[in-house]
Structure 1
Amino acid sequence: MTALAWKINRLKLMGPGEVAWRVRQLAWRKAVAMGLGLANYPPAPALGRFGASFLAASGAAPAGALPPGIDAAALCRAADGLLAGRWNVFALRDAALGFPPQWNRDPRTGMAAPMAPGPSIDYRDASVVGDIKYLWEPSRHLELVTLAQAWRCSGDARYKDGARTLLLSWLDQCPYPHGVHWASSLELGVRLLNWCAAWQLLEGDIDGDWRQRWLNAVYKHCHFISRHLSRHSSANNHLLGEYMGLYMASLQWPCWPESARWRTMAERGLREQGLQQNWEDGVNKEQAVYYHHEVMDMMLLCQLAARANGSSFPADWLLRLERMAEFLAALMDTGGNVPMIGDADDARMLRLDAAGMPPYRSLLASAALLFGRADFKAKAGALDDRNRWLFGDAEVRWAALPDPAPGAAEQPRMAFPHGGYYLLGKDFGTPQEVRMVADCGALGYLSLAAHGHADALSFTLSMGGEEMLVDPGTFAYHTQREWRDYFRSTAAHNTVQVDGQDQSQIGGNFMWLHKARATLLGHEPGQFFAGKHDGYMRLRDPVMHERVIRFDAKRNTVIVEDTLECFGEHEVALHWHFAEGCQAETAGQTLHMAKRSKGLLMSCRFGDGPQLYCASTAPIAGWISRTFDSKAGMTTAVWRGTIRGSTTIVTEIALLEGASS
């Protein structure tokens, strides 16, 4: 797609108010390029007015005074790796980037990004910056926190000196407001969050020059964010993250006359956006589970910081956060698997656990401690180091929450009507569990629907904690356009594709034009789901897709009826995506899928029987992406055929126990 085509598509999704606002932003970017309106000379900070720490065993506590249970050795090993110049950045593992790294060089491609004024850089253009995700990730400074934690754990001056070197090298190489690290306010917001945590861990051991340069940079970050907030069609998780950074910084460093105004702005924005971006039933409106997690984490961290400083967010805001945890718990099967619905970029707001507990479990552990919920504790399964740092009395509070009785069944919420997700299945939380999640939600949030996928009426299926039918994930963002488009396409989901087209029309990497609208027709918890979507009504001969899913708990069978209402002839494909480790055999119209002791026997009398793909590139099919920028082959089955007029296609799925692989 050309830059001109992208701009035309982007303009189509803007209202008059946004167009006027964009024009003002353009004028502001030009002013920044001319050096106008900048905070080149921050006022002197009022020292001694720092906020209270939201981390346990920080601030005035001596080095070595740690929250109970912390794996100090793991933190020191991680810090040693950094000091040796070894970094983990998405698919790059143990990469030799040096210490400190070259902050403006893409570690994946080696391309050096330009040092023009940040707001003027087109960071979406890989020919200009390389892969911007790889550039931005190290500059969020999660590793600065790791070094500070290692110093707190050990008192070893190497880690404190390493933190100083890392931060000052970034300030030297990334001068305000030049380069890609000044191009997105969200990046500044996440960086401020990590600076807060590192400051709290190092406080009292930051010398004069280091302290002064750091505080000057904080001021410039806050000044920049306050004037470059994401608005209108861009007001998604980015805006919440910008407010998060501004709020955390104004709490931690209330050192300037503007600090009170920044805190008021950020607190008001967090209150508004926390309610606006998340449905009443707890589903994040971006329709992407990983972004649901990120927004939850932002809200959680802001509440903990507020509480540490004698404040709190309102009761309705906290209730929304609790409902978000309930949604996450409902999605998670008994094996801890969560469907990869929508986009995911593997981002962590604040990494405090060197062992790397899965983020969804860790977040549910946080919710268990914050809300006193034993059911969240059961889903989380264990207390991790991240929560030991966040909750000073974590061990005591965790132990006070009752454990579930042996063999006790889980009672998840079964319907999320605002978000559009519905559960079917039985024996939740037990080894006999069957858990299906049906998607009848919107494509995404606001006019861009940036992080949604064309997955209306798709569903996932797991058995006893083993994933069987899956959502294949995301893989790429700004680069590798063909792969970006595949992973969010209709063909990459367990649903019906008509005439080789997507339900919704892609307009750019984070932009959808025509959007399918899904409507619920019926739901009986555990047993029945019916919905429809109008994504193919845009065709010359319009097609309405209606799907009915029936689960028979006694027979352990699933019946899927796909009705396509139309007058003319259409090519139809039913796509089914199976988790890694599934072994497939076909016989005529039947497919047998086995994974360890579980299996599926699928039968569909449509077309000439299933075609199987695994790691295919022509066409692209049979891929799964568990982590950003990593993909692997898995089995995809497709039933293809031609319909003439309204047609119902029936797929029978028998769920098998004791199947051999």
Structure 2
Amino acid sequence: MASSSQHTLMRYFETLRHLKPGQVYHRIWFRLARPKPDLRAAPSRRPAAAQWSAPARRHPSMTGATSFRFLSEPASLDEAGWDDPARDKLWRYNLHYFDDLNAADASARAHWHGALIHRWIAENPPGKGTGWEPYPVSLRIVNWIKWLLAGNVPPPGMVDSLAVQTRWLMGRLEYHLLGNHLFANAKALVFAGLWFDGRQADSWRQTGFSILAREFDEQILPDGGQFELSPMYHALAVEDVLDLVNITAVFADALEPRLAPSADHWRHCAPLMLRWLAALSHPDGKISFFNDAAFGIAPNNHELAAYAGRLGLVPSPASPGPVFLEDSGYARLELGEAVLIADLAAIGPDYLPGHAHADTLSFELSLFGQRVIVNSGTSVYGTGAERQRQRGTPAHSTVNIAGENSSDVWSGFRVGRRAKISRRHVEFLPERQTATASHDGYRHRPGRPVHTRTIALDGQRLTIEDTISAPGGNPAEAVFHLHPDVSVQQDSEAHGTLTLPGGKRVNWQAEGGRARIAPSSWHPEFKARHTSNCLVLPLRGGKSRLWLNWGGDTAKGSKFRP
């Protein structure tokens, strides 16, 4: 057994060895650099060549002229200020985003918005505090420009502040993080570089386009998925791309010939990204929970599809049917009343796994339009114990060995050892759909065990078969987390019933060790916790099977034979 110091050294090695060399250099530079704000007056504004289309709408976050509700937590700006250390950093970030400027019914709050912008400028001196970190700067630049493009009149100082913020961002680009942060930086530069005119705006625009030329095809996979493999962050990426399509159409005459192909490429990719989002969503029209994912952060699917329609893009169908997203590694099985979404994927980009969970080979299931089997969701960020638990394998509907994690998620946004997928195969036949894959995330344990899961959907029955190679010394159990609205009954050690809202009943039967029902929780939004149950099935001799049947006599509650 490795000592604690050896374990720590190995964890750091496995975490750091995947970083790109530039990330290390830029992290040092970012910490040491001390840029000074450039307070010169703003460049002139560029006249629009076309009409701005209304963007996707979030739920309002302003509950009064100086009061807000973010992440299910209310607060007053007059009491908390702009940088209250008692608030989580993500809450403070949201305060500085200004998402409410473009939320539902924003025009009715325009007088609040103008006053809030004026107050932000007066109370957040350039370069000071959370509001001047590059990510909130990037989102705020975009939100302010969207608000102005909607026809609102800028309050005194707003236009000059936009220029100061953009100049500041040019010196604080997040090359040390890459991923969605750098993408947001580049998007903001494109927005400012198109909205403003002149040589400085040209520099902003060209820098933004140059970053996106490098990042877009790396971050958006050929099947349309965003490479962090989180449905929530994918939805945010869809919004980003639709916004870029929108702004480049409004200022199409400002695009040099070498930039126009990028705008065309974004427009071409947007429908594919919408299709991916639909494939990773349940029949209720909301996202599934793989990696960091929660409701209420990104615009919902309906809003994004409607936004695409206003831009003249063909929106994705409500259901794409069964599909294997091979580049991402997710499979959607859909047959009759069943929709199952399976994670046969890597945890995400090796150099950027901060939003990864140890959820390899987990799945989510809906029956009759109701979520039945779920993953934990995400209700907290940070580095606390609850964040660690929600990222861990036991919080997901998959197999864990000895309660350990299949990938070594740690410290809130770090991953050491990573599970690697092999032997992945998906098949869709008229009456039967299957998905199977293996992973080696427990290779550090005795015998280097490999977990293999086979999922089969046929007729009105689902079969989940799990095997662990080298079971000796590797006690394993399959955990199936149930949606809070699903009640579970156990009639014997291997049989029971699930009852869905509305009275639909699903028989379950298990083969392996003695099945049991255990308490669980579901976290569909930040700061939200719903008590639930899970069905736990130990693997006996390294094997287990679970059958679910919702056809024929199931409605009467009779047992069935697998």
Tell whether the structures are fold-level matches, with TM greater than 0.5.
yes
State the number of aligned residues: 537
Which one-letter code corresponds to 2:483 in the other structure? A
SS of the counterpart of 1:14?
coil
Q: Do 2:271 and 2:314's aligned partners in 1 also have CA atoms closer than 8 Å?
A: no
The answer to whether structure 1 residue 136 and structure 2 residue 102 are counterparts is no
Q: Do 2:286 and 2:300's aligned partners in 1 also have CA atoms closer than 8 Å?
A: no
Which residue does the alignment assign to 1:62?
A: none
| TM-score, with structure 2 as normaliser | 0.87
SS of the counterpart of 2:352?
coil
Q: Do 1:144 and 1:167's aligned partners in 2 also have CA atoms closer than 8 Å?
A: no
Deviation of 1:238 (Å): 0.9
Q: Do 1:104 and 1:174's aligned partners in 2 also have CA atoms closer than 8 Å?
A: no
Which residue does the alignment assign to 1:115?
A: none
Q: Do 1:435 and 1:461's aligned partners in 2 also have CA atoms closer than 8 Å?
A: yes
2 CA distance for matches of 1:522 and 1:589?
A: 29
After superposing the two structures, state which structure 1 stretch, 276-285 or 327-336, moved more: 327-336
The answer to whether structure 1 residue 469 and structure 2 residue 373 are counterparts is yes
SS of the counterpart of 1:532?
strand
Mark the CA change 1:363 to 1:520 in structure 2 (over 3 Å): closer, same or farther: farther
2 CA distance for matches of 1:275 and 1:560?
A: 35
Which one-letter code corresponds to 1:180 in the other structure? T
Which residue does the alignment assign to 2:402?
A: 499
Which residue does the alignment assign to 2:305?
A: 364
SS of the counterpart of 1:574?
strand
CA deviations 1:139-184 (Å, max 9, x no partner) are 1112344699426xxxxxxx5553332112112221110112223x
Q: Do 1:337 and 1:465's aligned partners in 2 also have CA atoms closer than 8 Å?
A: no
Which one-letter code corresponds to 1:447 in the other structure? Y
Q: Do 2:296 and 2:525's aligned partners in 1 also have CA atoms closer than 8 Å?
A: no
Q: Do 1:423 and 1:438's aligned partners in 2 also have CA atoms closer than 8 Å?
A: yes
> Of the candidates 313, 316, 324, which is equivalent to residue 273 of structure 2?
324
> Of the candidates 322, 333, 349, which is equivalent to residue 282 of structure 2?
333
The answer to whether structure 1 residue 278 and structure 2 residue 220 are counterparts is yes
The answer to whether structure 1 residue 650 and structure 2 residue 511 are counterparts is no
Which residue does the alignment assign to 1:170?
A: 120
2 CA distance for matches of 1:566 and 1:235?
A: 39
1 CA distance for matches of 2:239 and 2:280?
A: 17
Which one-letter code corresponds to 1:364 in the other structure? A
Mark the CA change 1:476 to 1:52 in structure 2 (over 3 Å): closer, same or farther: farther
2 CA distance for matches of 1:652 and 1:22?
A: 50
| TM-score, with structure 1 as normaliser | 0.75
The answer to whether structure 1 residue 415 and structure 2 residue 310 are counterparts is no
Deviation of 1:16 (Å): 4.0
The answer to whether structure 1 residue 516 and structure 2 residue 441 are counterparts is no
Which one-letter code corresponds to 1:343 in the other structure? D
The answer to whether structure 1 residue 548 and structure 2 residue 454 are counterparts is yes
1 CA distance for matches of 2:195 and 2:218?
A: 26
Q: Do 2:12 and 2:416's aligned partners in 1 also have CA atoms closer than 8 Å?
A: no
Which residue does the alignment assign to 1:45?
A: 42
Deviation of 1:642 (Å): 5.9
SS of the counterpart of 1:259?
helix
Deviation of 1:437 (Å): 1.1
> Of the candidates 582, 586, 591, which is equivalent to residue 486 of structure 2?
582
> Of the candidates 620, 630, 633, which is equivalent to residue 528 of structure 2?
630
Q: Do 1:463 and 1:598's aligned partners in 2 also have CA atoms closer than 8 Å?
A: no
Q: Do 1:530 and 1:548's aligned partners in 2 also have CA atoms closer than 8 Å?
A: yes
Alignment of 1:230-629 (within 5 A): 230-231=174-175, 234-254=177-197, 257-310=199-252, 313-344=262-293, 359-370=300-311, 372-373=313-314, 376=316, 379=318, 411-412=320-321, 414-427=323-336, 433-478=337-382, 481-525=384-428, 527-553=433-459, 556-566=460-470, 568-587=472-491, 588-596=493-501, 597-613=503-519, 622-629=520-527
Which one-letter code corresponds to 1:325 in the other structure? L
1 CA distance for matches of 2:495 and 2:450?
A: 27
2 CA distance for matches of 1:445 and 1:542?
A: 24
Which residue does the alignment assign to 2:71?
A: 90
Deviation of 1:52 (Å): 5.4
Mark the CA change 1:147 to 1:201 in structure 2 (over 3 Å): closer, same or farther: farther
2 CA distance for matches of 1:56 and 1:265?
A: 25
Deviation of 1:348 (Å): 5.2
Deviation of 1:237 (Å): 0.9
SS of the counterpart of 2:404?
coil
Which one-letter code corresponds to 2:182 in the other structure? L
Q: Do 1:607 and 1:642's aligned partners in 2 also have CA atoms closer than 8 Å?
A: yes
Alignment of 1:9-20 (within 5 A): 11-20=16-25
CA deviations 1:168-203 (Å, max 9, x no partner) are 2112221110112223x1211110111102223454
After superposing the two structures, state which structure 1 stretch, 272-281 or 223-232, moved more: 223-232
Which residue does the alignment assign to 2:158?
A: 214
Which one-letter code corresponds to 1:512 in the other structure? V
Deviation of 1:572 (Å): 0.9
1 CA distance for matches of 2:222 and 2:21?
A: 29
SS of the counterpart of 2:475?
strand
Which residue does the alignment assign to 2:560?
A: none
Deviation of 1:230 (Å): 2.0
SS of the counterpart of 1:343?
coil
2 CA distance for matches of 1:25 and 1:284?
A: 26
1 CA distance for matches of 2:110 and 2:342?
A: 49
Structure 1 portions without partners, runs of 5+: 58-66, 112-129, 152-158, 350-357, 380-409, 428-432, 614-621
After superposing the two structures, state which structure 1 stretch, 514-523 or 97-106, moved more: 97-106
Structure 2 portions without partners, runs of 5+: 558-562
The answer to whether structure 1 residue 22 and structure 2 residue 27 are counterparts is yes
Deviation of 1:261 (Å): 0.8
Q: Do 1:287 and 1:342's aligned partners in 2 also have CA atoms closer than 8 Å?
A: yes
Deviation of 1:548 (Å): 1.0
Which residue does the alignment assign to 1:55?
A: 52
Alignment of 1:82-161 (within 5 A): 82-83=64-65, 85-92=66-73, 95-98=74-77, 102-105=81-84, 111=86, 130-145=87-102, 149-150=106-107, 161=111
Mark the CA change 1:370 to 1:219 in structure 2 (over 3 Å): closer, same or farther: closer
Mark the CA change 1:551 to 1:412 in structure 2 (over 3 Å): closer, same or farther: closer
Mark the CA change 1:641 to 1:560 in structure 2 (over 3 Å): closer, same or farther: closer
Deviation of 1:56 (Å): 4.7
2 CA distance for matches of 1:642 and 1:462?
A: 28
Mark the CA change 1:591 to 1:482 in structure 2 (over 3 Å): closer, same or farther: farther
Q: Do 1:141 and 1:191's aligned partners in 2 also have CA atoms closer than 8 Å?
A: yes
Which residue does the alignment assign to 1:384?
A: none
SS of the counterpart of 1:221?
helix
Which one-letter code corresponds to 2:36 in the other structure? L
Mark the CA change 1:56 to 1:439 in structure 2 (over 3 Å): closer, same or farther: closer
CA deviations 1:80-106 (Å, max 9, x no partner) are 9422x44221112xx351569621225
